[in-house]
């Protein structure tokens, strides 16, 4: 399957806006791009068409007509890790069903942007994590992080976890960079590269109202590199 798996150092670092921005950048390059958020949780339904707000944004950015179930095959009405959300709602996570849904989507589209849930080690089942899913999907990984306090530890741990699972990390994106960064925040991308040996492929400024269109313009080089062959 041709595509990329977007993960993050934690919840709330901006995986969805990055995934949507990348999808929009790929579409601008005339790539037949599909989008998927395999696992999503929410306390209430977003709209009549989409259960998840993230799913709705991804669909808009890629300009696809795929159904909610195709884009988000596993949805749980409890904001928690899928393992816990499924348990608390008397359901379960079927990895093979979700992987099959991804395979079908990859037949419809030449490239699929997949957004993971939470961080790379979030439990999906009693034995499997997001990292296991990314490995089974056989896609390269892009990590989304931030420049704020604690990011070095979280980012390095995420990279190390990806390496432990044999995942191919193509790059790191530093999201939510302040307009007037402190010296430490300004040095974060270079420090991340030095300690992880992974390139920071984009730095995205902080915005109170993030736009996938603006994000897309910052991810054009990444979109080009992911579709070179």
Neighbours of 23 (CB within 10 A): 32
Structure tokens at 224: 């080009």
Cα distances (Å, whole numbers) of residue 51 to 68, 78, 82, 157:
7, 12, 15, 32
| Residue 44 is a catalytic residue | no
**Per annotation, catalytic residue among 37, 127, 170, 179:** 37
Question: Are the beta carbons of 19 and 55 closer than 8 angstroms?
Answer: no
Q: Which regions of the chain does DSSP assign to beta strands (E)?
A: 3-8, 33-36, 39-41, 74-76, 111-119, 141-145, 169-177, 200-205
Q: Residue 166: which region, alpha, beta or left (left: phi > 0; alpha: psi -120 to 50)?
A: left
Alpha-carbon distance of 151 to 208, in angstroms, equals: 20
Instruction: Report, as residue numbers or ranges, the catalytic residues.
Output: 37
């Amino acid at each position: 399957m041709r595509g990329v798996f977007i993960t993050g150092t934690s919840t709330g670092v901006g995986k969805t806006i990055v995934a949507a921005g990348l999808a929009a950048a790929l579409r601008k390059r005339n790539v037949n791009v599909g989008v998927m958020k395999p696992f999503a949780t929410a306390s209430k339904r977003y709209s009549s068409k989409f259960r998840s707000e993230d799913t709705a944004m991804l669909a808009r950015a890629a300009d696809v007509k795929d159904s909610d179930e195709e884009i988000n095959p596993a949805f749980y009405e409890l904001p928690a890790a899928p393992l816990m959300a499924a348990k608390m709602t008397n359901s379960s996570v079927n990895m093979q069903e979700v992987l099959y849904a991804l395979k079908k989507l990859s037949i419809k589209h030449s490239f699929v942007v997949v957004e993971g849930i939470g961080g790379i080690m979030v439990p999906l089942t009693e034995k499997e994590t997001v990292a296991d899913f990314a490995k089974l999907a056989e896609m390269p990984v892009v990590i989304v992080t931030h420049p704020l306090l604690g990011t070095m530890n979280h980012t390095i741990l995420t990279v190390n976890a990806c390496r432990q699972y044999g995942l191919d990390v193509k790059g790191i994106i530093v999201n939510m960079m302040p307009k007037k960064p402190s010296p430490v925040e300004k040095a974060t991308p270079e420090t991340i590269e030095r300690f992880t040996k992974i390139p920071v492929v984009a730095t995205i400024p902080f915005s109170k109202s993030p736009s996938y269109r603006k994000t897309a313009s910052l991810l054009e080089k990444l979109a080009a590199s992911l579709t070179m062959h």
